[in-house]
């Protein structure tokens, strides 16, 4: 049984009825004009709905908004700075070790001498303010997504171990309203972002989807892009524009999903455990082979890949036949 528990931990699922919990804080900032107020409200609502659909307990979702969100049944408080600080404190109290905390900022931002700030009713919240508030979450994996303009400096302030920080812009100088947030939120609601077809959208996939669709939008309008999103998940404080599973940034984001991990009842069959172990081993082999791709002759690489893929396909059939 110990072996089984270790194995399931390694697989990213929890062998207990109660899995690790996801906590989500959505902060809808001020829009300034009606068009942005409506846009940000829509984004926030969509994000909320995606979180519910992803299985996050409504009780673990905190929604703070500068405007009313008519399509959201859950009551929400105003997104001013004290309320944000209080909400983070509440999450810190509620979250267990190993839980995951997602903070999504939707709105405008602006550069400041000390980095950048996110615009709120009343005093804005700076990257440093947010960093201080999150400092208490030492035992949780924290994901911060700032979709605002001039959000780049948030990476500097928030980067750290067990942290994924995503910003819509690469610096405070990119201070025009962004499109990134639209596509980041859409990544969880629409099809197309789940590029590895595992029926979940990882933070890396959502980032890649949003980045590419944002760029496509600028290209379509023949405009120079005024935003360049970054992702940092290796704690070095340097965001990557094109993170990936095998790149400097991206490995952690590739393993973190919005979806609440499914709880697995104890007593999974030994056969299923064995099949799952073999499947993971095959996936690992495929991953290793892909790492070696540049060093192998093309035909050799694809021949070896095909062998592994066929084994994996057959094994997957077996797992599905057993109801997995």
Partner 1 sequence: MKKLVALILLGFTQLGYAAIDPRLEQVQELRLAGNYPAAIERVQNELAAAPNDSLLLNELGELRLETGDLDAAATRLREALELPGAGRLLAQLNLAEVHRQRGEWQQAESLWREIRQAYQTAPSLSARDLFAIASATRHLGRSDPQLFKDAVRLYDQASRKDPAYLDAGIALGELLLEKYNNEEASVLFKELLTIDDKDPRALLGLARSQHFDYSSEAVATALRALSLNPNLVPTRVFMARLFIELEEYGDARREAELALEINPVSLEALALLGVIDHLERNPGQFAAIEQRVLALNPRYADFYATLAELVAQNRLYRDAEKFAQRAVQLDPQSWRGYGLLGINQLRLGQIEAGRASLERSFAGDPYNAWIKNTLQLADTFNDYVQTGQSHFSVVLHRDEHALLEPYIHDLVEQAYQQLQKRYRHQPDEPIRVELYPDHADFSVRSVGQAGVGLLGVCFGPVVAMDSPAARARGEFNWGSTLWHELAHVFHLSMSGNRVPRWFSEGLAVYEERKARPGWGGDVSPDFLLAYLDGRLLPVSQLDNGFVRPSYPDQVIHSYFQASLVFEFIEQRWGFDVIRTSLNAYRDSKDPDAVLLQQLQIDSAELDTAFDDYLQTRYATALAALRKDADANAQDAPTQPSQPPNVETALPDKYFEQLELGQLLFDQDQLELAESFLQRAQQLFPEYAGNDSSYWFLATLYLRQENYAQAEAQLEQLIAINAEHYPALLELAKLRAKRGDNAAAAAALERAIYIYPYEIELHQELAGYQASLGNWDQVARARRALLALDPVDRAEAFYQLALAYERAGNRSSAHEQILYALEIAPNFQRAQELLLALRASTPAAMELQ
Which residues from 197-256 bind partner 1, rule CB under 8 A?
197-198, 208-209, 212-213, 219-220, 222
Nearest-approach distance from CB 195 to partner 1, in angstroms: 5
* Identified binder of partner 1 from the candidate list 225, 283, 318, 324, rule CB under 8 A: 283
- Decide if residue 306 touches partner 1 (CB under 8 A): yes
Residue pair 244/250 in contact (Cβ under 8 Å)? The answer is yes
- Decide if residue 263 touches partner 1 (CB under 8 A): no
- Decide if residue 80 touches partner 1 (CB under 8 A): no
Nearest-approach distance from CB 297 to partner 1, in angstroms: 15
- Decide if residue 314 touches partner 1 (CB under 8 A): yes
Nearest-approach distance from CB 277 to partner 1, in angstroms: 15
* Cα distance between residue 189 and residue 31, in whole Å: 22
# residues contacting partner 1 (CB under 8 A): 31
For residue 264, give both structure tokens. Answer: 């697995």
Enumerate long-range contacts of 124-132, CB under 8 Å, 24 or more apart: 124/81, 125/81, 125/84, 126/157, 127/153, 127/154, 127/156, 127/157, 127/158, 128/157, 129/81, 129/85, 130/103, 130/154, 130/157, 130/158, 131/157, 131/158
- Decide if residue 2 touches partner 1 (CB under 8 A): no
| Nearby residues of 296 by Cβ (< 8 Å), 6 or more positions away | 304
In degrees and rounded to multiples of 5, residue 202 shows phi and psi of -80, 165
Nearest-approach distance from CB 19 to partner 1, in angstroms: 21
Q: Choose one: 67-75, 155-163, 196-204, 262-270; the region binding partner 1 (CB under 8 A).
A: 196-204
- Decide if residue 288 touches partner 1 (CB under 8 A): no
- Decide if residue 316 touches partner 1 (CB under 8 A): yes
* Identified binder of partner 1 from the candidate list 90, 196, 236, 288, rule CB under 8 A: 196
Torsion angle of alpha carbons 238, 243, 244, 249, nearest 10°?
10
Cβ atoms within 10 Å of 11's Cβ, excluding its own: 15
Within 190-294, strands assigned E span 230-232
Residues at the contact surface with partner 1, assessed by CB under 8 A: 191-198, 208-209, 212-213, 219-220, 222, 282-283, 286, 290, 302, 305-306, 308-310, 312-314, 316-317, 320
């Amino acid at each position: 049984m110990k072996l089984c528990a270790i194995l399931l931990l390694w697989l990213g699922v929890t062998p207990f009825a109660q899995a690790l919990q996801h906590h989500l804080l959505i902060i809808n900032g001020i829009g300034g004009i009606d068009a942005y107020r409506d846009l940000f409200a829509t984004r926030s609502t969509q994000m909320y709905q995606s979180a519910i659909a992803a299985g996050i307990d409504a009780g673990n979702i905190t929604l703070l908004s500068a405007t009313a969100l008519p399509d959201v049944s859950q009551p929400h408080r105003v997104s001013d700075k004290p309320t944000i600080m209080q909400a983070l404190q509440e999450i810190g109290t509620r979250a267990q070790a190993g839980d995951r905390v997602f903070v999504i900022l939707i709105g405008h931002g602006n550069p400041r001498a000390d980095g950048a700030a996110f615009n709120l009713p009343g005093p804005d919240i700076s990257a440093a303010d947010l960093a201080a508030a999150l400092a208490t979450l030492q035992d949780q994996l924290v994901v911060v997504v700032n979709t605002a303009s001039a959000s780049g400096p948030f990476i500097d302030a928030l980067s750290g171990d067990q942290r994924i920080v995503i910003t819509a812009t690469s610096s405070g100088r990119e201070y025009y309203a962004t499109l990134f947030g639209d596509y980041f939120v859409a990544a969880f609601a629409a099809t197309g972002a789940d590029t590895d077809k595992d029926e979940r959208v990882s933070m890396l996939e959502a980032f890649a989807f949003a980045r590419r669709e944002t760029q496509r939008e600028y290209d379509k309008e023949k405009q120079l892009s005024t935003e360049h999103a970054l992702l940092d998940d290796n704690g070095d404080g340097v965001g990557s524009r094109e993170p990936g599973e095998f790149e400097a940034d991206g490995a952690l984001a590739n393993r973190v999903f919005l979806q609440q991990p499914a709880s697995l009842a104890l007593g999974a069959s030994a056969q299923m455990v064995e099949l799952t172990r073999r499947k993971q081993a095959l996936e690992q082999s495929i991953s290793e082979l892909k790492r070696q791709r540049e060093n192998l002759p093309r035909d050799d690489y694809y021949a070896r890949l095909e062998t592994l893929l066929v084994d994996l396909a057959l094994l997957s059939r077996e797992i599905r036949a057993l109801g997995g």
